[in-house]
Chains A and B, each alone.
Chain A
Amino acid sequence: MSPLSGRLELNRRAALKGLAAAMAASMARCSQPTEEIIPYVNMPEGMVAGEPMRFATTLSLAGYGRGFLGISVDGRPIKMEGNPGHPFSLGATDIFAESEVLTLYDPDRSSVIRRKGAIATWDDFAAEWNRVAQTNDGRGLALVTGRTTSPTTLARIDALRTRFPALRWYRYEPVNDDASRAGGRIVFGRVVTALPRWSDADVVLVLDGDPLGHGPDELRIARGYSSRRNGKNRRQRIHVAEPVWTLTGATADFRIALKPGHVREVARLIANGLGAQLGEPRLPDYAHAFAQRVSQELQSAKRRALVLTGEGQPAEMHALCHWINSQLAAPVDYFPPQDPFENDHAYELKSLADDLHARRIKALIVVDSNPVYDAPDMLRIADGIADVPFSAHIGLYRDETAGCCKWTLPLSHALETWGDARALDGTASIVQPLIQRLYPTRTRDEYLAELANEPVTDAYDLTRNSWRKGAPAGGDFEKQWRAALHDGVIAKTAAQPTTASSSRIATLPYAAPQHELVLQLSPDTSVWDGRFANNAWLQECAKPFTRQVWGNAIQIAPADAAKLGIADEETVDVTVGGETVSAPAVIMPGQADGVVAAGWGQGRLSAGRIGTGVGARTCGLGTHPFARSLAGAVVRKSARNVPFRSLQAHTRLNGRTEDLFQIATAGELAPRHGKAAPPPNMLGIPNRGEYAWAMVVDTDACIGCNACVVACQAENNVPVVGPEEVTQGRDMHWLRVDSYARPHGYSLRRGFEPVPCMHCELAPCEPVCPVEASVHDHEGLNVQVYNRCIGTRFCEANCPYKVRRFNWFDYSGAQAYANEGPSLKAQHNPDVSARGRGVMEKCNYCLQRISRARKTAEKQEREIAEGEIVTACQAACPTRAIHFGDLNRANSDVSQLRATPQHYVLLADLNTRPRTTYLKRVYNSDETA
């Protein structure tokens, strides 16, 4: 170093010294890195280091609680599983519940209090809030929340209203039940929550609704659906009339595509058949035949017939379906609404906009809502908020609304806090934390208690207090509390179903004939209303029908596409009322002509590093908030180029659909006699060890919800690759859900097929591996030894099922999207290796779970029991479509399923003898609708 300048001067001599030092250092032993063991100072009771523990907790979707079990290892929640004791989980999960562990560790979470973007303290906020609070009795004070069913939160809002009597509380949920609420008011004079008992119905007609699609009731309905598919009960007939493909539509025996206006004519025809005088149904001929036929089926199945509709239909349609159901004595339970709020959601958001623009709001507190994103641009919510003198946003992320508010207050994640929630039927459950708060955050209840100046402001005490109050006198509260925490439900909190029948018929107005295109909107199948947009697992979770990832698309019927000259995957502009969004077009056979469809929830402007700028924001279109149907849409080719990113295109196997996705008719499924001899081969059949693991996937039960895909990702440390890599044809999912369409009459039959590794007994991947990294074990698993793998990718090329995934980059270590921050590493399952760059990987039947079960059984000197091993995908599945077990047992689930006539093998002619096999999709008859 030069003594005068202090500058580092590297002369020849110093460079040589450095070179010598580096050489000497490199000659030192290539030592193993040292590792520390850091035990507890005081170990928690009952804790065993490294062993997973399960805690019952509650996650909310659209304000309704669903009970799950969180798996925690050494104090880190790593996976969510279903809680069999909770009536709205029934042991299953969905993509949103599975992905919550990733959201918890999301480095983009709001982690500190900010004032106009600059870091501030709670005291700063409290000082300003006290000034605001002292000046008035709540006039001009506005509170915005989503749907709230939590008794503790409702008590906090009551306390806030006690302090500020003139407080105006706005409640809205983007994916809401406004039409259904209005329908209830027409028929019953009050709002009801109608919960169909799906398994009790022999005939189901769904008119433009998606009960099997994502939502707070999905898991319960899906279980009801699958209970009528397993052969013990008589099979159910499902008929669907809808404009756009839904998961429910894909399960239908008969499905016809109708414009929303025509769908209600089907209901009119059915109502007339039941004695209503609603005028002549105006239906096209083919739809008339369908409606006639369904009408007869429904009438002949009284007490066991069910008619459902969805939010895309008007209130009168909901009213009419209520009436039809009461005429049919349909298996529907009516519950009082758990959401105590009187007004409808869209009305509330509009009032908020009006009050903002009329400057009636002087202080605004937004709790876990994002009106700036959710509301149509016409409402100009952002401008309104900017004019409010005091505004605070309480949320998990610094989202669009947070960007407009003066204060941003970080919210705790559901897995770090105490709280409670009610399910659709009123079942209450406790939100139990699995980890200390990662950042200095507060819960919704804690913030509200602070704002209301309540004496108790700790979430644990607040939650306990609200249940202590309601506890029966003389009961042992501590015992009940522990039981509630253990079971994940609070006993006897479900409401009693009320009888709701009415002879009142609503008049059903005829829809005005639509000559222009109608834009149908629905919640995105991956990111819901946009709140999950920053979750990389969900962004890379393929949409069921289009298999699109990282974005949304404009779905368009083939006839309309031909008329407009639009090609598949071409970018189009959709203009409604002067506002335009651009997205790639997807031509969807089986979609009603005259209808274009898109999802909400994408095109976030401020979601975080993952979700910002992905896809097109469709919720800004139109004038009415949350409108599902926008008339007068104009679609034309775009000057922009938005890439269409999809996963299935990577492995398209043209011309083999009938072979790969097999269907059968219930009548032709004659029981098989004897066992077919396996085709001969020259390699010899490997010996079976003590166990022979196998999986049977029931494509008849699969509804394509993707829960298994995200569950696999969480369990097996499967990284995301990001949109750029997907465009290159790469992805890492060990389990994919393929989407198939088979022409049937003038319609299509669609279905889903989850494809994990086949674990072929004669695996084509094994002989081509030069280093024996792909080998068989004695229990029939085709295992991949990551340490041996040198990345030749011969195995991937030789795999006929295309289930092998290659780490082109260090996806699990340093690649963007998967590794936006160190906190994400905490989610990793310590029982599974993180794979490095240049290594092949694939499904291993959750080897870590097999290994754990084997060790438990061996320690107890017994065999692994049937059903003791549950793979992650199997555990997640709401329809129990995935079966796993031991082929060596003749009476195991998989052995028995393999003997059914429904059973088939993918690409059986290759004689790979896969251990993963399938059950055919079964239809009641081969007739066309």
Chain B
Amino acid sequence: MAQLFRPGANSIAVIIIVAIFVLPTGAVAVSYFLWKSPYATSQYLTLAQPVPFSHEHHVGALGIDCRMCHTGVEKAAFAGLPPTHTCMTCHSQIWTNAQMLAPVRQSLASGTPLHWQRVNRVPDYVFFDHSIHVAKGIGCSVCHGPVQKMALMRQQKPLTMGWCLSCHRHPERYIRPRDQVFNMFWSMPPDQIAQGRKLIAKYLIHTAHMTDCSTCHR
């Protein structure tokens, strides 16, 4: 009787047996990493804005403080975007005819606000509050990255829950003195962990509550 299977069938069988195990595991692994990858989190993504506002120029070159425009950052959950009037305090004097700034002038003239694209976005069920982070020594750059080097704003961190928890579980790794919060050029001291622990005690940070669901979700 002739052979039912050709010699190659052995290899095929082995491949199938391996694939039964590898493919689902691989699929899960791929989707797991894909889900956390910049592809899914919008990390490093630069969005088109109505005005190509450059933090590199305003923060890096001119050294304007964050709070000049983001006035709510110490008071409220929402850091706030500047009203057109804030832009025009300077730009009614300098670059008054720049083509780039036409939408700003138009906004002021017509009373229609500028529509900016949100870059750093957390889901609606996350109740993030800027003011408490700033008050407790979490610098802007911890989450927003080196803004002073960004010609156009991009999302520097993944903004996933795991990323949030990496700090909420170990705030000593990221905390800095309160007067350095808005310093974009601050760098960690070599003994950051020890310094961080001291600051946690000094700023009365209740670390136990920081990983409660109710801290961010309600």
Q: Is A509 an interface residue (CB 8 A)?
A: no
Known: A40-B113, A50-B76, A858-B204. A833 touches B125 (CB 8 A): yes
B132 touches A858 (CB 8 A): yes
Contacting residues, chain B, for A858 (C-beta < 8 A): 132, 135-136, 204-206
Question: In the complex, which range does the number of interface residues on chain B fall in?
Answer: 35 or more
- In the bound complex, how far is the Cα of B75 from the Cα of A29, in angstroms? 36
Query: In the complex, what's the smallest C-beta–C-beta distance from B27 to chain A, in angstroms?
Result: 15
Q: A921 vs B119: C-alpha distance in the bound complex, in angstroms?
A: 56
On chain B, the residues within 8 Å of A785 by CB distance are 213, 217
A residues less than 8 Å from B112 (CB atoms): 41
Docked CA distance A786–B217 (Å): 8
Min C-beta distance of A76 to chain B, whole Å: 15
Closest Cβ of chain B to A687, distance in Å, is: 9
The contact of B209 among A29, A51, A779, by CB within 8 Å, is A779
Asked if B114 lies at the interface with its beta carbon under 8 angstroms from chain A, I say: yes
| Whole-angstrom CA separation of A625 from B115 in the bound complex | 57
Whether A861 is near chain B, meaning CB under 8 Å from some CB there, is yes
Quick check: is B40 within 8 A (CB to CB) of the other chain?
yes
A231 within 8 A of B: no
Q: How far is the CB of A433 from chain B (nearest CB, A)?
A: 21
Surface stretch bound by A, among B3-11, B15-23, B81-89, B179-187 = B81-89
Interface string of B75-111 (1 = CB under 8 A from A): 1111011111100000000000000000000011001
What 0/1 readout, one digit per residue, does chain A (579-617) give for beta carbons within 8 Å of chain B? 000000000000000000000000000000000000000
Q: Which chain A residues (13-44) contact chain B, with CB distance < 8 Å?
A: 29-32, 34-43
- Whether the Cβ atoms of B214 and A781 lie closer than 8 Å is yes
Task: Name which residue of chain B comes closest to A787, CB basis.
Answer: B125
Closest to B217 in A: A785
Q: Are A36 and B116 in contact (CB under 8 A)?
A: yes
> Could you tell me if A847 and B206 are in contact, using CB atoms closer than 8 angstroms?
no
The answer to whether B218 touches A844, judged by C-beta atoms less than 8 angstroms apart, is yes
Assess the A859–B218 pair: CB atoms within 8 A. no
Whether a CB of chain B sits under 8 angstroms from the CB of A831 is yes
Chain A residues whose CB sits within 8 angstroms of the CB of B121 once the complex forms: 32, 35
Q: A38-B116, A40-B83, A855-B129 are in contact. Are A833 and B124 (CB under 8 A)?
A: yes
* Residues from chain A with Cβ under 8 Å of B12 in the complex: none
CB distance from A780 to the nearest CB of B (A): 11
Contact, CB under 8 Å: B76 / A42: no
A465–B71 alpha-carbon span in the complex (Å): 38
Which chain A residues (225-262) contact chain B, with CB distance < 8 Å?
none
**Contacting residues, chain A, for B129 (C-beta < 8 A):** 855
Main secondary structure of the interface of B (DSSP, over half): loop
B72 contacts which chain A residues (CB < 8 A)?
48-51
Q: Are A787 and B217 in contact (CB under 8 A)?
A: yes
Instruction: Determine whether the beta carbon of A861 is less than 8 Å from that of B203.
Output: yes
Contact A48 B80 (CB under 8 A): yes
Q: How many of chain A's residues have a CB under 8 angstroms from any CB in B? A: 40
Given contacts A779-B209, A847-B218, contact A38 B127 (CB under 8 A): no
Contact of B42 with A42 in the complex, beta carbons under 8 Å: no
Interface membership of chain A positions 517-534, coded 1 if the CB is closer than 8 angstroms to chain B and 0 otherwise: 000000000000000000
Question: In whole angstroms, what is the CA distance A50 to B75 when docked?
Answer: 10
A516 contacts the other chain (CB 8 A): no
Q: Residue A848 at the B interface, CB < 8 A? A: yes
A41-B132 contact, Cβ under 8 Å, with A29-B39, A785-B217, A833-B124: no
**By DSSP majority rule, is chain A's interface helix, strand, loop, or mixed?**
loop
A42-B83, A50-B76 known; A777+B213 contact, CB < 8 A: yes
Q: Is A279 an interface residue (CB 8 A)?
A: no
**Bound complex: CA A39 to CA B115 (Å):** 8
Decide if A483 is an interface residue (CB 8 Å cutoff).
no
What sequence of 0s and 1s flags, for each residue 177-208 of chain B, a beta carbon within 8 Å of any chain A beta carbon?
Answer: 00000000000000000000000000111101
A residues 762-787 with Cβ under 8 Å of B? 775, 777-779, 781, 783, 785-787
Judge if A690 is at the interface, Cβ distance under 8 Å. Answer: yes
Q: How far is the CB of B109 from chain A (nearest CB, A)?
A: 10
Cβ of A813 within 8 Å of any chain B Cβ, yes or no, is: no
Q: Which A-chain residue is minimally distant from B207 (CB atoms)?
A: A778
Assembled-state Cα–Cα distance A43/B70 (Å)? 13
User: Measured between C-beta atoms, what is the minimum distance from B160 to chain A in Å?
Assistant: 12
Contacts of A40 in B (CB 8 A): 83-85, 113
Give the distance to chain B from A376, nearest Cβ to Cβ, in Å: 51
Q: Is B47 an interface residue (CB 8 A)?
A: yes
When A42-B85, A49-B80, A787-B217 are in contact, do A37 and B125 touch as well, CB less than 8 Å?
no
From B39, which residue of chain A is reached at the shortest CB distance? A29
When the two chains form their complex, are residues B118 and A34 in contact, meaning their CB atoms are under 8 A apart? yes
Within 8 A of B (CB), among A807-852: 831-833, 844, 847-848, 851
> B114 and A38: CB pair below 8 A?
yes
The verdict on A689 contacting chain B, using a C-beta distance below 8 Å, is: yes
Decide if B218 touches A848 in the complex (CB within 8 Å). yes
Inter-subunit contact B116/A855 (CB<8 Å): no
Chain B hits for A851, CB < 8 A: 127, 214-215, 218
What's the Cα separation between A51 and B71 when bound, in Å?
13
Q: Whole-angstrom distance between the alpha carbons of A787 and B213 in the complex?
A: 11
A777 to B214, CA, bound (A): 7
Closest to B213 in A: A785
With a cutoff of 8 Å between Cβ atoms, the chain A residues found around residue B80 in the complex are 39, 48-49
A859 and B118 contact, CB distance less than 8 A: no
- B128: min CB distance to chain A, Å: 11
Tell me the bound Cα distance from A832 to B131 in angstroms: 18
Closest to B82 in A: A39
Residue numbers of B with Cβ under 8 A of A are 39-40, 42, 47, 71-72, 75-78, 80-85, 107-108, 111-118, 121, 124-125, 127, 129, 131-132, 135-136, 203-206, 208-209, 212-215, 217-218
9 interchain residue pairs of minimum CB distance: A777-B212, A40-B83, A39-B81, A35-B118, A43-B83, A50-B78, A847-B218, A41-B84, A777-B214
Known: A783-B213, A833-B217, A855-B131. 5 other contacts (CB 8 A): A833-B218, A844-B218, A851-B127, A855-B132, A859-B131
24 CB < 8 A contacts A-B: A31-B42, A35-B118, A36-B115, A36-B116, A37-B115, A39-B114, A39-B116, A40-B113, A41-B83, A48-B75, A49-B72, A49-B78, A51-B75, A690-B209, A777-B209, A777-B212, A777-B213, A778-B208, A787-B125, A833-B217, A847-B218, A851-B214, A855-B132, A858-B205
